[in-house]
């Protein structure tokens, strides 16, 4: 716990440096209401998916199919809207489809005993392929303003985007679930030592299955936010986003080996990553360099905890 607190303190310092450096590099536009709105809007989708994925990685599993579930949900929104479905019916339907995608991953991992890395690399391709089967390479963009304003306008009287409000609510829910419930303690126990957790009476398979279902459902919800944010339903929406999400989770101090991490650390990491990315884009840095920086952060987020947790001489 002390190490995690130190890690979160370091993230807070890094966040301050990003804000100060970003403001200086962009001539102050980074700290305007419009700049803060853009940062919040841009990081909301990644931040939403990072919440349930945190629990999956704490349980020593991984889900790399999240961005493809996002793309599939966006494609479904487009094709169902073209077929005349009302959005009031489409939106809950795609969340159910996302939950089913997560359930397929969970079934293959928990019932068949397949490694989650291999399963979700396969489903990453499967769900993205389904998205193109459903919608092709077309784009659907004629959604009503009353819905697209959810992703393009702030809460009245503030700079805060509506998706950030949704993220804060879910961050509280997932924070309580992980840190203040029996279910959360089971997730930590499974990640620390799965065999010991099973012998202590924890239903390991059921817990992991629920985590994959939650991740699929929230990835579909992020697909809704993405589609409304850009007012465009496309099968390739969110392509490559899984790299940013995994980076945010690991940078937040969650151990890739499971058993350790906090929602608070992941929230700070999403702010750091989102702020840094937006500052680089505002400073006209090439997207290739932004991807390079993301890759460096991902490597650092894996390397640094391994060093800080390395046993010292004489330590058991």
Q: What is the pLDDT of residues 65-101, one digit of tens each?
A: 999 999 999 999 999 999 999 999 999 999 999 999 9
Contact predicate 261/58, CB 8 Å: yes
Does this model's pTM top 0.85? My answer is yes
Q: What is the pLDDT of residues 38-61, one digit of tens each?
A: 888 888 999 999 999 999 999 999
Output b/e per residue, 231-253; b: 16+ Cβ within 10 A: bbbbbebbeebbebbbbbbbbbb
Q: What is the pLDDT of residues 263-281, one digit of tens each?
A: 999 999 999 888 888 877 7
**Of 155, 154, 152, the residue nearest 231 (C-alpha):** 152
Report the chain's terminal Cα–Cα distance, integer Å: 18
CA distance 211 to 217: 10
CA distance 120 to 132: 18
CA distance 112 to 257: 21
The helix/strand/coil state of 286 is coil
CA distance 266 to 144: 34
Per-residue pLDDT, 277: 81
Dihedral sign, Cα of residue 19, residue 24, residue 26, residue 32? positive
**Of 181, 197, 212, 202, the residue nearest 53 (C-alpha):** 212
Q: Is the pLDDT of residue 12 over 50?
A: yes
CA distance 74 to 224: 6
Neighbouring residues of 80: CB distance < 8 A, sequence distance ≥ 6? 90, 93
Q: What is the pLDDT of residues 292-302, one digit of tens each?
A: 877 787 777 77
| Measured CA distances, 258 to 45, 252, 262 (Å) | 24, 13, 12
CA distance 132 to 138: 9
DSSP 65-112: -HHHHHHHHHHHHHHHHHTT--HHHHHHHHHHHHHHHHHHHHHHHHTS
The CA R_g of the chain, rounded to the nearest whole Å, is 20
Contact predicate 105/214, CB 8 Å: no
Q: What is the pLDDT of residues 154-213, one digit of tens each?
A: 888 888 899 999 999 999 999 999 999 999 999 999 999 999 999 999 999 999 999 999
The token pair at 29 is: 């536009």
Per-residue pLDDT, 312: 43
What confidence tier does 310 reach under pLDDT thresholds 50, 70, 90?
Answer: low
What confidence tier does 33 reach under pLDDT thresholds 50, 70, 90?
Answer: confident
Contact predicate 11/268, CB 8 Å: yes
What confidence tier does 306 reach under pLDDT thresholds 50, 70, 90?
Answer: low
CA distance 233 to 254: 32
What confidence tier does 1 reach under pLDDT thresholds 50, 70, 90?
Answer: low
Q: Is 201 exposed, middle or buried (0-12, 13-18, 19+ CB in 10 A)?
A: exposed
Per-residue pLDDT, 307: 60
CA distance 22 to 282: 9
Phi, psi of 162 (to 5 degrees): -60, -40
| Measured CA distances, 57 to 34, 133, 246, 250, 314 (Å) | 34, 30, 9, 9, 29
């Amino acid at each position: 716990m002390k190490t995690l607190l130190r890690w979160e303190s370091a993230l807070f310092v890094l966040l301050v440096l990003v804000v100060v450096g970003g403001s200086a590099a962009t001539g102050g536009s980074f700290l305007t209401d419009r700049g803060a709105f853009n940062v919040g809007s841009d990081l909301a989708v990644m931040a939403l998916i990072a919440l349930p994925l945190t629990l999956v990685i704490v349980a020593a599993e991984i889900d790399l199919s999240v961005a493809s579930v996002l793309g599939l949900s966006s494609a479904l929104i487009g094709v169902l809207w073209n077929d005349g479905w009302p959005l009031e019916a489409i939106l809950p339907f795609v969340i159910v489809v996302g939950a089913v995608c997560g359930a397929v991953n969970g079934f293959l991992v928990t019932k068949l005993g397949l490694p989650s890395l291999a399963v979700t690399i396969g489903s990453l391709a499967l769900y993205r392929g389904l998205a193109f089967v459903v919608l092709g390479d077309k784009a659907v963009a004629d959604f009503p303003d009353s819905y697209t304003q959810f992703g393009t306008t702030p809460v009245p009287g503030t700079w805060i985007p509506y998706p950030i409000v949704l993220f804060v609510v879910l961050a509280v829910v997932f924070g309580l679930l992980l840190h203040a419930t029996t279910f959360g303690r089971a997730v930590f126990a499974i990640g620390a030592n799965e065999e010991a957790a099973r012998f202590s009476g924890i239903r390991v398979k059921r817990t992991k299955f629920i985590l994959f279902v939650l991740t699929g459902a929230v990835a579909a919800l992020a697909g809704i936010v993405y589609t409304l944010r850009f007012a465009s339903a496309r099968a390739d929406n969110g392509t490559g986003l899984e790299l940013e999400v995994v980076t945010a989770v690991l940078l937040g101090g969650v151990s890739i080996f499971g058993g350790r991490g906090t929602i608070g650390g992941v929230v700070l990491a999403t702010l750091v990553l989102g702020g840094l990315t937006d500052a680089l884009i505002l400073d006209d840095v090439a997207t290739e360099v932004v991807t390079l920086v993301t890759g460096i952060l991902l490597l650092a987020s894996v390397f640094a905890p391994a060093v800080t947790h390395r046993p010292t001489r004489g330590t058991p």
